[in-house]
Structure 1
Amino acid sequence: MARRRTAFLLFLCFASCHLVSISAKSYYDILQVPKGASDEQIKRAYRKLALKYHPDKNTGNEEANKKFAEINNAYEVLSDSEKRSIYDKYGEDGLKQHAASGGRGGGGMNIQDIFSSFFGGGSMEEEEEKVVKGDDVIVDLDATLEDLYMGGTLKVWREKNVIKPAPGKRRCNCRNEVYHRQIGPGMFQQMTEQVCEQCPNVKYVREGDFITVDIEKGMQDGQEVVFYEEGEPIIDGEPGDLKFRIRTAPHDLFRREGNDLHTTVTITLVQALVGFEKTIKHLDEHLVDISHNGITNPKEVRKFKGEGMPLHFSNKKGDLYVKFEVLFPVSLTDDQKAKIKEVLA
């Protein structure tokens, strides 16, 4: 336990030193809420993301730790009405000037203070179990190799149930209350009664809208882009989440295996024997030189280092593997056969 606490404190020091260099991504984008989000929406979004990326759940995952720092930094600003107003008008530069001029809260709370004040010291498991959630919606999303190589966005039409006001009242927030009833002199019986409040009635209405899905460079099949509270709603609870599960779409030229790319190039018999100069156009249209001076055997595979897919959240790349198919002539004249024998004999 002591080691875990020490590791967490070291992480806090690291994160606080890097908050000024956090991604230029909007604080609203970081918390996955619209710019006009209410305080309650911001709280719910922070709660879910902070639980997901908490260092205790992501031991040794540096990228998750960075995200946790981003989330806390964004929440510190957007949960403070004064800071949020300055940020909306002037951005991060405005916040820096405000802090430099002695504005309140210039130093801000540290990450542990934010998390503890929000969750009240309860464990992550306890917090997760308290929430009554609607169903998650999982959608397989075909992403092109180009988008997975360079990053991109997709607009997806989404229809879902939305809770709307309806006429009348309904029983809600029902709970069981225990009371004692006297059944005789000095004799009592314990009874349980369900007690419900009367709330405005609601109904489900089907609505649709476009959702913009960001495809990050190097994402792998099976990775998910999550939109919190965009899943199925539930009365007197929180909506589930909408999850787009990435799936690599087939490509005409390249085939992906993990972080590597594979392709096949056809050359002539002459090129296979004497060498050739050749380039192929990559996914971002830069040219890869695959020329060779020596002999190329049929189905020979050559590796071109660093020409594969980018690794997710990394500057490194996988490799490109090119398999060469040799195109043999359909027929030869007697004269051609004689010349070949003369050369190769």
Structure 2
Amino acid sequence: MANGEKRDYYEVLEVHRNASDTEIKKAYRRLAIKYHPDKNPGDKQAEDSFKEISEAYEVLSDSQKRAQYDQFGHAGLGGGGGFNGAGFGFGGGTPFGDIFGDIFGDIFGGRQQRGRGRRGDDLLYNLEISFEEAAFGVESRIEVPYNKRCGACGGSGAKPGTEPKVCPTCRGAGQVRFQQGYFSVSRT
């Protein structure tokens, strides 16, 4: 492809646009085995193909990324003209994503993995060790404080003998998220 143009991810994985998740996974495995660098040592073209296959699978195996790709092509993923903050350290699991997400309310689209919990505070411990332990290594045990789940309600906040009710609008998340163009908007 000229000037770094990216191939269609469906073509890369040799599947139809309406391929199921299972078909995409099978195609990825077949091609990944074929072009894996360990099977093709020193073959730059095979290495490049493997990277392209992995990139295509990363997008097509994720339902949100796939929907964005289907609608906007490569531009919808942030690398080809769209902006989701991916190239600027605002996305993924970076601390900048957490910091800027907290300040700006995730307008950069960096925290789309709502399944994971919020990152906890850093813990700092002073542990005295000898010079020899520092030089040669040592294993030490430390106690990390943590909150225990309430025995009465199991952490749900419901009174004993009652069932917790989940909000039908946000499904217990406390906010509703929707996409407007390249921006993700949250509303409480």
* Shorter-chain TM band: 0.3 to 0.5
Larger fraction in helix:
2
Q: TM-score, normalised by structure 2?
A: 0.43
Q: Which of the pair has more CA radius of gyration?
A: 1
Larger fraction in strand:
1
Q: TM-score, normalised by structure 1?
A: 0.24
